[in-house]
């Protein structure tokens, strides 16, 4: 009996010691797989999925404390797991009275305030999202002051399951009452941004779509057209005084005088359809030699009777592409091609034929019915638009693996 009492006393004492140890021992935090602070994990919406590797801490509002930028995906579809990407910045507010958050006082506990970037329905940001398949986030200026991140501008390129960005979003802090103001643009094919150091914004450069401040952007929207043409719009904001500075604001405005039609991904070597050939000629491209007309889309007859206003099209080193406002062409030319005429052609400069021999190539020419392309063009800024009518004929050589080519035989300008 006495032994039993001793055993019971020992067990009770051990249980008491275990309880005291469990209460007093240091707490080991649970592992955080997302890399987010533990208090942020409890605040993020359950419908969001945080994008790995995009969590950033930085002083975005110049208050001396870091804020937390989170990129997340949302609105995933049911047919395919594809959705949209958004962003939010959490800001720690201190010296706030819990019963009246708008009142500042020496009340030390703090709370987190979310400031949405996109999507949002306030502050002029009611349209858009940061991306679809992915985003590239840049904090500007790129170098942190004294080793501490203090960004004045947030630049976000969004992607849509392709190698080219399709959205550009730029944000700046505007105060507690407003949050982050932004400018957003989207192209359904691609967009190309450039910085203040770009020598020629109309031409791609090494700094396009990079982490430098975007001064302007070209947006490409695909037309419902068979030659993969896009409507190209140019937006630009006031550049900085020094090329290394940030622009003074987010005042992006369209440069209406730069609107044009162009190939969505650049001109092909020799377009398949007649209107593609006309567009390539107007946008400063040349066919790949050797061709029946050498390094030009114009036949000898077309070059001979070219309107004086378009005489520069004869040159293979044209400097300035011609703006195109509209283009139209027939969908088909008939049920079957008419009999063609046969002619021989020797490439300029004695270039050998495709089989490696020096014998002349044999070509068939179908001039009836011709393809007619109508365009509305701008020859010089500030001048009235002109209507150009292009007549094209088809050509094919004797090789079974060669494609049909289109060449311009006549140009009329009205």
Per DSSP, the three-state class of 381 is: coil
- Tell me if 194 sits within 8 A of 214, measured CB to CB: yes
Encode burial over 171-201: b for 16+ CB neighbours within 10 A, e otherwise. Answer: bbbeeeeebbbbbbbbbebbbbbbbbebeeb
Cα 342 from Cα 11, distance rounded (Å): 110
Cα 119 from Cα 87, distance rounded (Å): 7
Where exactly are the structural domains of the chain? 33-154, 298-413
Chain segment 28-55, per-residue pLDDT in tens: 333 334 566 656 777 788 889 999 888 9
Long-range contacts of 310-319 (CB under 8 A, 24+ apart): 310/379, 310/388, 310/411, 310/413, 313/281, 313/282, 313/411, 316/286, 318/284, 319/284
Per residue of the chain (414 residues), give pLDDT as tens: 554 554 444 444 544 544 433 333 333 333 334 566 656 777 788 889 999 888 999 999 988 889 999 999 999 999 988 999 999 999 887 665 555 556 666 655 567 889 999 999 887 787 899 999 999 999 999 877 778 899 999 999 999 999 999 999 999 999 888 899 999 999 999 999 999 999 889 888 888 998 899 999 999 999 999 999 999 999 999 999 988 899 999 999 999 999 999 999 999 999 999 999 999 999 999 998 678 888 899 999 999 999 999 999 999 888 899 999 999 998 888 877 788 888 777 655 545 555 556 667 788 888 888 999 999 999 998 899 999 999 999 998 877 888 889 999 999 999
- Tell me if 230 sits within 8 A of 249, measured CB to CB: no
Cα 130 from Cα 73, distance rounded (Å): 10
Which pLDDT score is estimated for 28?
34
Which pLDDT score is estimated for 398?
78
Cα 278 from Cα 298, distance rounded (Å): 10
* Bond before 391 cis per omega within 30 degrees: no
Cα 193 from Cα 168, distance rounded (Å): 8
Backbone angles phi, psi at 14, to 5 degrees: -65, -40
Residue 275 CA, distance from chain mean position: 26
List Cβ neighbours of 155 (8 Å cut-off, separation of 6 or more). Answer: 137, 138, 139, 140, 168, 169, 170, 211, 213, 214
Cα 187 from Cα 193, distance rounded (Å): 12
Cα 26 from Cα 23, distance rounded (Å): 8
Chain segment 177-224, per-residue pLDDT in tens: 889 999 999 999 999 999 999 988 988 888 899 889 999 999 999 999
* Bond before 141 cis per omega within 30 degrees: yes
Backbone angles phi, psi at 137, to 5 degrees: -105, 130
Which pLDDT score is estimated for 97?
58
Which pLDDT score is estimated for 12?
46
Which pLDDT score is estimated for 107?
57
């Amino acid at each position: 009996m006495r032994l039993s009492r001793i055993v019971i006393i020992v067990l009770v004492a051990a249980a008491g010691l275990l309880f005291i140890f469990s209460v007093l021992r240091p707490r080991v935090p649970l592992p955080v797989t997302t890399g987010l602070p533990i208090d942020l994990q409890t605040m993020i919406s359950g419908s969001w999925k945080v994008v790995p590797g995009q969590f950033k801490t930085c002083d975005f509002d110049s208050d001396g404390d870091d804020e937390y930028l989170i990129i997340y995906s949302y609105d995933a579809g049911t047919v395919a797991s594809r959705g949209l990407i958004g962003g939010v910045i959490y800001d720690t507010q201190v010296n706030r009275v819990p019963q009246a958050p708008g009142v500042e006082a020496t009340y030390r506990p703090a709370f987190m305030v979310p400031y949405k970037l996109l999507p949002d329905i306030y502050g002029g940001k009611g349209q858009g999202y940061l991306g679809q398949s992915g985003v590239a986030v840049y904090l500007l200026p790129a170098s942190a002051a004294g080793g501490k991140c203090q960004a004045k501008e947030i630049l976000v390129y969004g992607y849509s399951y392709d190698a080219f960005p399709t959205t550009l979003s730029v944000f700046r802090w505007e105060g507690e009452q407003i949050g982050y103001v932004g400018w957003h643009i989207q192209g359904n094919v691609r967009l190309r941004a450039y910085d203040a150091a770009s020598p020629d914004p109309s031409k791609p450069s090494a700094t396009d779509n990079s982490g430098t401040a975007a001064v302007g952007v070209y947006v490409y929207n695909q037309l419902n057209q068979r030659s993969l043409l896009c409507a190209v719009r140019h937006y630009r904001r006031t550049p900085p005084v020094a090329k290394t500075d940030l622009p003074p604001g987010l005042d992006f405005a369209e440069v209406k005088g730069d609107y044009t039609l162009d190939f969505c991904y650049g001109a092909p070597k020799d377009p398949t359809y007649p209107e593609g050939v006309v567009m390539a000629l107007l946008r400063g491209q040349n066919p790949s030699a050797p061709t029946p007309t050498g390094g030009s889309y114009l036949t000898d007859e077309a070059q001979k009777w070219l309107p004086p206003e378009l005489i520069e099209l004869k040159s293979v080193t044209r400097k300035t592409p011609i703006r195109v406002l509209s283009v139209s062409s027939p969908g088909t030319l008939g049920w079957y091609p008419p009999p063609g005429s046969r002619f021989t052609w020797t490439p300029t400069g004695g270039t050998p034929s495709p089989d490696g021999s020096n014998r002349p190539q044999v070509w068939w020419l179908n001039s009836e019915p011709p393809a007619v392309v109508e365009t509305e063009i701008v020859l010089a800024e500030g001048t009235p638009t002109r209507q150009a009518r292009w007549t094209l004929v088809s050509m094919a050589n004797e090789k079974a693996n060669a494609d049909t080519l289109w060449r311009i035989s006549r140009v009329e300008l009205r």
